[in-house]
Amino acid sequence: MEKNHFRRFARRYVQLLAAVLYNCNFKGFATGRIWQGSTKGVCVPGLNCYSCPGAVAACPLGSLQTALLSSKYKFPYYVLGTFLLLGLFLGRFICGFFCPFGFLQELLHKIPTPKIQKSSVTRILSYLKYGVLLIFVIAVPLTTLAPGFCKYLCPAGTLEAGIPLVLLQEKLRALTGALFTWKVAVLIVILLACIFCFRAFCRFLCPLGAIYSFFNPISFFGIKVDQTKCIHCDACVRHCKMDVKKVCDRECIQCGECISHCPAEAIHYGISNEEQKAKVKRIVRIALLMLLIAFLVMGVHSNGFQDLKNKAIRICYECMGIG
């Protein structure tokens, strides 16, 4: 009984623990003050606004945007190294297990309503997130000196930081305007969409998922298919709620749903299988691994940890829709 319960809800427990771990500054929710400890010098893997009163670490996407903002004065080795580390080792396994906003979307999808099934339209829409990444995360910070995604779109920032801080701090209430209203509207639309469409934000808009998706085929850890056992029945793809064409492609969040539907027991979690197309993958992995080590060493050497902490211990007004 206990074993079955754990089997059924194992991923939920990990998601819940990750959400609590990222936001364990419980005192902050009562006082409206954000955490200013040293842990803010480290990025969590999932989307979690560092201006959230509970957040004890930095958001990778927010960190990337602020790093790009000042990149002409200091190259963001540390943040880019962190992305390489997370992507190369876990890929979109992070989306399936360590993202609090993904967890929230899955819970919303449990509300019993008619559901929108995946189709060729949703598959096309899944490319939207690459546009969001290019425009809002890269182009806008570099050209207009604003963290574009945080400022105009990020629903996690509005939910975790904007709304709680505006409620808790009177002086911030006076600063809210049209941008805050826009961000709340975006949040409401996204949350409503998630009730009808499985992980709508992750599938169509999330630029963090877009970044991790590039690493999915080469990540060291994740879902693997044993080709010797696979009977090519496509049960895995049919039962998957994401817009995947095959297991562990760019859209796969490695939730493990396909494992229970595979009649041949050919799918499992594990370390990368070097037998498949090993040569190219191995070269890419080694190159990225070397780059990651170089970036992290240079990042730490150039005070990257302290820089990130100094950013993340301050409220990002734009993330909240102010300014």
Q: Min. distance of Cβ 102 from another protein in angstroms?
A: 15
For residue 154, give both structure tokens.
Answer: 């990020």
Residue 317 interacts with another protein (CB under 8 A)?
A: yes
Q: Min. distance of Cβ 36 from another protein in angstroms?
A: 6
Selected binder of another protein within 5, 7, 110, 279 (CB under 8 A): 7
Q: How far is CA 39 from CA 34, 43, 64, 276, 308, in A?
A: 12, 9, 17, 39, 10
| Pick from 74, 121, 135, 91: nearest CA to 306 | 74
Q: Min. distance of Cβ 256 from another protein in angstroms?
A: 6
| Pick from 239, 274, 277: nearest CA to 255 | 239
Instruction: Give yes or no for a contact between 92 and 213, defined as CB atoms under 8 angstroms apart.
Output: yes
Instruction: Give yes or no for a contact between 21 and 100, defined as CB atoms under 8 angstroms apart.
Output: no
Question: Could you tell me which stretch among 71-79, 100-108, 114-122, 281-289 binds another protein (CB under 8 A)?
Answer: 71-79
Angle CA 190–248–209, to nearest 5 = 30
Beta bridge partners of 74: none
Instruction: Give yes or no for a contact between 79 and 205, defined as CB atoms under 8 angstroms apart.
Output: no
Between 56 and 247, CB nearer to another protein? 56
**Total residues at interface with another protein (CB under 8 A):** 57
Question: Could you tell me which stretch among 33-41, 121-129, 228-236, 273-281 binds another protein (CB under 8 A)?
Answer: 33-41
Q: Min. distance of Cβ 5 from another protein in angstroms?
A: 11
* Nearby residues of 28 by Cβ (< 8 Å), 6 or more positions away: 34, 35, 52, 53, 54, 55
Place of tokens 């305007």: 177
> Per-residue x/- marks for another protein, 193-232, CB under 8 A?
----------------------------------------
Residue 79 interacts with another protein (CB under 8 A)?
A: no
Q: Min. distance of Cβ 147 from another protein in angstroms?
A: 6
Question: Could you tell me which stretch among 124-132, 146-154, 184-192, 242-250 binds another protein (CB under 8 A)?
Answer: 146-154
Residue 127 interacts with another protein (CB under 8 A)?
A: no
Residues 39-58 that bind another protein (CB under 8 A): 39, 51, 56
Q: Min. distance of Cβ 87 from another protein in angstroms?
A: 18
**222 membership: H or E segment, kind and range:** strand 221-225
Residue 87 interacts with another protein (CB under 8 A)?
A: no
Q: Is the dihedral of CA 48, 50, 52, 53 positive or negative?
A: positive
Residue 261 interacts with another protein (CB under 8 A)?
A: no
Q: DSSP secondary structure string, 256-285?
A: SHHHHH-TT--EEEEE--TTTTHHHHHHHH
Q: Which amino acid is at 43?
A: C
Residue 72 interacts with another protein (CB under 8 A)?
A: yes
Selected binder of another protein within 58, 94, 99, 172 (CB under 8 A): 172
Beta bridge partners of 43: 58
Give residues in contact with another protein (CB under 8 A).
3, 6-7, 10-11, 13-14, 17-18, 20-21, 24-25, 33-39, 51, 56, 66-67, 69-70, 72-74, 97, 141, 144-147, 151, 169, 171-172, 175, 256, 259, 268-270, 303, 306-307, 310-311, 314-318, 322-323
